[in-house]
Amino acid sequence: MLGRLLRRSGQEQRDLAPYLGIACPGRIAPEGRIKQGAQNLPGDRHAADFNLPSILHHVLSADFGWDAVVLMHNDAVVQGLGEVPFMADVEHRGMLTVGTGLSNAHFTNR
């Protein structure tokens, strides 16, 4: 799917942002490894050498020439971060995602 989108953006001469964000259920380590959860992914997703952001960066760069920064975080955290610009007048907020599992996040404005 990403490959098709990259090809189409090239055909339409559209510049893409140099970032790809992935929202994934489960506990995500700072380096992008899945520590727990993410049962929706195939294979040994908890293996020490499985790092989805690194894999995608390599494939997208090598196969499509798109050298984007690829980051992954918990889906509830990503949802909450997407709301930050609209929540300036709220001191505390929480996020709950329901999908392949339950996730939650809590944010405090400072």
- What would the pLDDT profile of 26-39 be if each residue is shown by its tens digit? 888 888 788 777 76
Query: What pLDDT shows up at residue 62?
Result: 92
**Residues 55, 78, 91, CA angle at the centre, nearest 5°?**
155
Give pLDDT, residue 101: 65
End-to-end Cα distance, the chain: 39
pTM recorded for the entire structure: 0.72
Q: What is the mean pLDDT of the chain?
A: 82
pLDDT exceeds cutoff 90 at 58: yes
C-alpha neighbours within 13 Å on the C-beta side of residue 46:
8
Q: Name the residue range of residue 26's domain.
A: 2-108
Work out the pLDDT band at 42, boundaries 50, 70, 90: low
Number of domains making up the chain: 1
Amino acid identity for residue 95 in this structure: M
